[in-house]
Structure 1
Amino acid sequence: MIDPFLDDNPLSDIKSKDVEKLDYILVSHGHSDHFADCVKLAKKHDATVISTFELVSFCQQEEGVKKGHGMNIGGAYVFPFGRVKLTPALHTGSIDGDKNGAYTTDCCGFLISLDGGPTVYHAGDTALIMDLQLLQGRVDVALLPIGDNFTMGPEDAARAVEMIQPEVVIPMHYNTFELINQNPEAFREMVGDTARVEIMQPGGSYEL
């Protein structure tokens, strides 16, 4: 699971209590709409939290999570399900619940090369950055934010697609709140023939 935000998410069709099995939780940063249910899910399922070193340290030292794997931007590690590399994400980065700011950390994205499967890029909450050009030719499926205000908007996300050149792009981080309301069909038109746009609905699935 990536960035668990279920219980307080007005669009989520499942809640943390509905998750039956969970081995790994990847967290791009500590804002509540990405981190909110991480600790309770990690404790309930004895799942391993994968994130930046500081965020994992917070989970283990302050919240009692048993399993964690801290990393840093640019680093990669091979897990049982595949290889994970942390990529840069330009976004502010506090940790929800860290009252003293002792665990302040950078945000990240994830380049996930699944064993026997495709390579998936989850951009996190990044703005449009030139680093995305380095992913060209390396990504099969890209998940990009289009909500604007807090992240890339549709126009910048379409430019990101041009930089990355994935086969498939899935828009994310939009319509959860009024401030980030967007029309994903408009984003599809902006992308054009550069990639296939898969628009997901809550509860939907996409087979990799």
Structure 2
Amino acid sequence: MTARYGAVTVDWLGYATVRIEGRTGAVVYVDPGRYGVLEEYDARDGDLILVSHDHHYDPDGIRRVAHEDALVVVHEAVDADRIDRDVAQPESLPYTVERVRADETFVVGPLDLYTTPAYNEPGGPHTRANGEPYHPEGSGCGYGVTIDGATVFWPGDTDVLPVHEELDVDVFLPPIGGSFTMDRHEAAALAAAMEPGLVLPIHYDTFEALEADDEAFVVDVASRGVPVVLDR
């Protein structure tokens, strides 16, 4: 299934991997790869590749989606030396690589792009047993990209944060798996506060800790008067 909003099509490919394409042909991928979601995928058509944080950094996934002239945008904290997987530094990839902080705005060709903070609150509901956040502040970001007049927003692996309700978003891609991010209840409440044109949940059911009732999420969001779809 492909979700459509205005001139934009959005495909959830699994885990946090999303493909966004505008009517004019620009293609954006968000957090491509991990957990085998791109095992049989080799499109190499992406103009812009966005990587939110260490857990979603997958060089092989990037190679499967990026064309040779792609721009790869990576949060500044992503560091291969601190990742417990055998991965190369982003700058060693055969693409133009740009580092970003949270809370930046810039233009990439015909696309407008912004970043937002993405983290878990210390001592909050999405922390380790000792209260340590799975995603400390400064470890990653969310991305909003405007393509052919529609703004698609992926908040990253994060709790619901005050900044989210201030955003003007057309397509909202909330994580609903809980454990390491907002859960389906928190995401539904945020969707109602943001009032986007369309909600497409992602980042759930990849493994046991991310299991979520997506149909219950749809009912919850729809009952609040917000358009919502599933991409299975």
**Which structure is higher in helix share?**
1
Match of 2:54 in 1: 30
**Which structure is higher in strand share?**
2
Deviation at 1:82, TM superposition (A): 0.8
Cα 1:87–1:16 shift into 2, 3 Å? farther
Root-mean-square deviation (CA, aligned residues, Å) is: 2.6
Letter paired with 1:25: I
Deviation at 1:56, TM superposition (A): 8.3
Match of 2:196 in 1: 166
> 1:121 and 2:153 equivalent?
yes
DSSP-derived class of the 1:112 partner = strand
Q: How does 1:58-97 map to 2 (within 5 A)?
A: 58-60=89-91, 63-91=92-120, 92-93=134-135
TM-score (norm 1): 0.76
Provide, for residues 36-58 of structure 1, a one-character-per-residue CA deviation record: whole Å limited to 9, x for no partner. Answer: 23554488735321122343894
Match of 2:30 in 1: 2
Letter paired with 2:68: H
Letter paired with 1:35: Y
Q: Is the 8 A contact 2:192 2:224 kept in 1?
A: no
User: Matches of 2:76 and 2:111 in 1, distance apart?
Assistant: 19
Unaligned runs of 5+ in 1: 95-103, 202-208
Match of 2:73 in 1: 50
Match of 1:15 in 2: 39
Match of 1:98 in 2: none
Letter paired with 1:27: V
User: Matches of 1:188 and 1:5 in 2, distance apart?
Assistant: 25
Q: 2:141 aligns with which of 99, 108, 132?
A: 108
DSSP-derived class of the 1:121 partner = strand
Q: Is the 8 A contact 1:55 1:105 kept in 2?
A: no
Aligned positions, number: 181
Letter paired with 2:228: V
User: Matched residues, percent identical?
Assistant: 29
> 1:155 and 2:175 equivalent?
no
Cα 1:59–1:65 shift into 2, 3 Å? farther
Deviation at 1:126, TM superposition (A): 1.3
